[in-house]
Chain A
Amino acid sequence: MNKIPNRRAICQTLLKHAATDKSIFALCSDSRGSASMSPFFERLPEQSVETGIAEQNLVSIAAGLAACGKKPYAFSPACFLAARSYEQAKVDCAYSGTNVKLIGISGGVSYGALGMSHHSAQDIAAMAALPNMRVYLPSDRFQTEKLIEALLQDEKPAYVRVGRNPVEDIYSEGACPFQLDKAAWLRGKGEAVRAAIIACGEMVRPALEAAEALAEAGISASVLDMYCVKPLDREAVLEAAGLADIVVAVEEHGPFGGLGSMVAQVVGECCPKRVKCLSLPDAPVITGTSAEVFEHYGLTGRGIAKTVKELLG
């Protein structure tokens, strides 16, 4: 089992480049430990900025740095970054067009029993609603590294959400096909299947497990890793939907405005077909670890497979 959380993969990737590219900056709001960014702050203090517990300031300062040619990566728990500093993301990053990369750590229900204040189940919807803001939820450490490598090459704002805990690898060293803003096919590309499962972030692993379980039961399913929620890879969505009887979107997010909504929008517009959105509820989630929460709401391989079977009758 992999022990490296995606947040640490971000730190390692940034450190690899920041030693030579002095324009790379990291900003934390008393969050360097939870962001796994302490090594960066220790090794590159001149490229590190602590703002204290002040998420609005974190994002505005990052925008000011970007306006002066820096490549700032602003880290804060996703629950605060996408809510407390939403207007700064809107005005200072998206609207002013500054090269700020917002890194929402401990996203979704990573914080488990800490409650709704610490869950970010609206961040995809909020950030995706901003013109000029991109939204990414990488599925494992290898894809996270590829994503950060790609984001280092551009000068536009983006929001990246990662979870707190290590997640099982989807890809492997040297075998992580990646093209920015193109979904990764994990199963069933080009095949006619009963169900197309489209997932992002930590839901990609259970989506794969569901497809495997369904295959054992004689039900074919394709799996698409849609780490690029915005801009959504419409082409891949339509390819998957066109070859399937039903489409299932899976996300660690509330039911509105996230991956499921976007997939349904595209499928409804261009390739009408039944779309089921599996997500967290429009309510505070039950108390528990993230694994327990996923289990409760059917966001596991078994739960997703069960839903697919029910839908197919």
Chain B
Amino acid sequence: MLSWDLRQDALDIIMAGGSGHIGGDMSVLNALLALYKNHLRITPETTHDPDRDRFVLSKGHAMEAYYAVLCHQGFLDLEDVKARFNKCGSPYIGHPNNKLPGIEMNSGSLGHGLPVCVGMALAGKRDGRKYRVYTILGDGELAEGSVWEGAMAAGHYKLDNLCAVIDRNGLQISGSTEGVMGHEPLGARWESLGWHVLEVNGDSIAELDGAFSQAKSLKGKPTAIISRTTKGFGSPLMEGRAEWHHRLPTAEEYEAIKKDFQKGKEAAARE
């Protein structure tokens, strides 16, 4: 139910700001929501607590979904984000800005989040702290070599306090990921670098919750959650279509997408 409201919030933020990465927003929103709502130990009051869990959105372009979740969790004010997103002089830009409460690192350029999280996880290990470190990567992002430098190091240092989610929606701006640069067998690639691998249907929050819980109990290795998702999830207008990577809906499309989200919410309520 909640996820549908947040989809609408992300859409409204995009419409207010006049741009956004709507396709990836919709595929990654469930993972962001599950993480912030049920797993990540961080609140607006604990953003500087040394024992807080850390999160870095490596696929930083999914910022509108992240705004929706950060607003819901009380880090940011939704009306303020909508009023100022993309506006001249605004702190609400199209990628994570760590001047905002709750955002640890700036990102935007791909292939940075995982190696940064390796540093965070190493710090936690060396300090004997119990916090966990999470990052979410896009699947197109996996073509960046720096991702694999980070993956290699996480395996080498056996960082079982680190969990990386791969938003496996199968599409990137030019088309299918497998057509642009293949990643399969994806799980085997991560396993070969010393990772536990879990695969879930990432369009299901329940499945994501299960994976995040399981990851906490997996010791000796970092965990990669391959979250198989649908780009543009929630509206048949957008689902599985690469052109919705960062397309701005027309007024008509907006109404259609809004209706689809409403239907999704009603269906969820019936379940």
Tell me which residues across on chain A come within 8 A of B156, comparing CB atoms: 52
User: B120 CB to closest chain A CB, in angstroms?
Assistant: 4
Tell me which residues across on chain A come within 8 A of B126, comparing CB atoms: 46-47
Contact B104 A67 (CB under 8 A): yes
| A57-B151 Cα distance, complex, nearest whole Å | 10
The answer to the question of A11 belonging to the interface, with a C-beta cut-off of 8 Å to chain B, is: no
The residue that B150 contacts in the complex, of A57, A62, A91, A96, with Cβ under 8 A, is A57
Please tell me the number of chain A residues within 8 Å of chain B, measured between CB atoms.
Answer: 28
User: A243 CB to closest chain B CB, in angstroms?
Assistant: 43
Q: Do A54 and B120 contact each other (CB < 8 Å), given the known contacts A61-B115, A91-B109, A95-B106?
A: no
User: B59 CB to closest chain A CB, in angstroms?
Assistant: 14
Contact B146 A96 (CB under 8 A): no
The residue that B116 contacts in the complex, of A46, A61, A70, with Cβ under 8 A, is A61
Say whether chain A's binding surface is mostly helix, strand, loop, or mixed: helix
Within 8 A of B (CB), among A93-140: 95-98
Q: Do A60 and B112 contact each other (CB < 8 Å), given the known contacts A54-B152, A65-B119?
A: yes
The answer to the question of A215 belonging to the interface, with a C-beta cut-off of 8 Å to chain B, is: no
Annotate B235-269 by CB proximity to A: 1 below 8 A, 0 otherwise. Answer: 00000000000000000000000000000000000
Contact B98 A64 (CB under 8 A): no
Within 8 A of A (CB), among B60-116: 98, 104-109, 111-112, 115-116
Contact A96 B118 (CB under 8 A): no
15 further A-B pairs in the complex, CB-CB below 8 A; given A54-B149, A57-B152, A68-B54: A46-B126, A49-B122, A56-B145, A64-B119, A64-B123, A65-B120, A67-B104, A67-B105, A87-B109, A87-B112, A88-B146, A91-B106, A91-B108, A91-B112, A92-B105
In order of increasing CB-CB distance, the 3 nearest A-B pairs are A64-B119, A60-B115, A68-B123
Q: Which residues of B contact A (CB under 8 A)?
A: 50, 54, 98, 104-109, 111-112, 115-124, 126-127, 145-146, 149-150, 152-153, 156
